[in-house]
């Protein structure tokens, strides 16, 4: 992870950059929505966010990876008020693990989806 001393420190628990070196496997994870394994979609933000992270964890595991392999996440939120709860849940799940991270407030493809999270991992 890269956090140059010549620029301001990250505003949160993330890294400014991540260097991928030759010979590493790279996994691109499509945007994960808050749908549970049974196909249900909870109505609240926290439950949807936790499902997004469970889904990301499942894709990572399928590739023989874990959250420790994340190098970039992008959270697409439907409301600015979700920024702090999203950060809290992400930090709870990732612990001290830092990766490059972006948050974007936008509309989702389906109105019931309150967020979507994309991820990139390397091993």
pLDDT, tens only, 3-57: 888 888 887 778 888 787 888 899 999 999 999 999 999 999 999 999 999 999 9
pLDDT (0 to 100) of residue 1: 75
pLDDT (0 to 100) of residue 75: 97
d(CA 39, CA 27): 24
Look at the block and give the residue holding tokens 């709870």: 92
Please name each of the domains of the chain with its CATH number. 26-122 (3.30.1330.40)
- Cα dist from 53 to 3, 39, 117, whole Å: 25, 15, 8
In the chain, the percentage of residues whose pLDDT exceeds 90 is: 76
d(CA 10, CA 76): 19
Span 45-58, pLDDT tens digits:
999 999 999 999 99
Tokens for 121? 């991992």
């Amino acid at each position: 992870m890269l956090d140059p001393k010549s620029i301001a420190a990250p505003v949160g628990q993330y890294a400014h950059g991540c260097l991928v070196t030759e010979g590493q496997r790279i996994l691109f994870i499509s945007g994960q929505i808050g749908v549970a394994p049974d196909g249900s979609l909870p109505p609240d933000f926290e439950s949807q966010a936790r499902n997004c992270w469970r889904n990301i964890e499942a894709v990572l595991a399928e590739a023989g990876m874990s959250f420790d392999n994340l190098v970039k996440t992008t959270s697409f939120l439907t409301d600015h008020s979700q920024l702090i709860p999203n950060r809290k849940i992400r930090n709870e799940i990732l612990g001290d693990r830092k990766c490059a991270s972006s948050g974007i407030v936008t509309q989702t493809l389906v109105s019931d989806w309150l967020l979507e999270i994309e991820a990139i991992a390397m091993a």
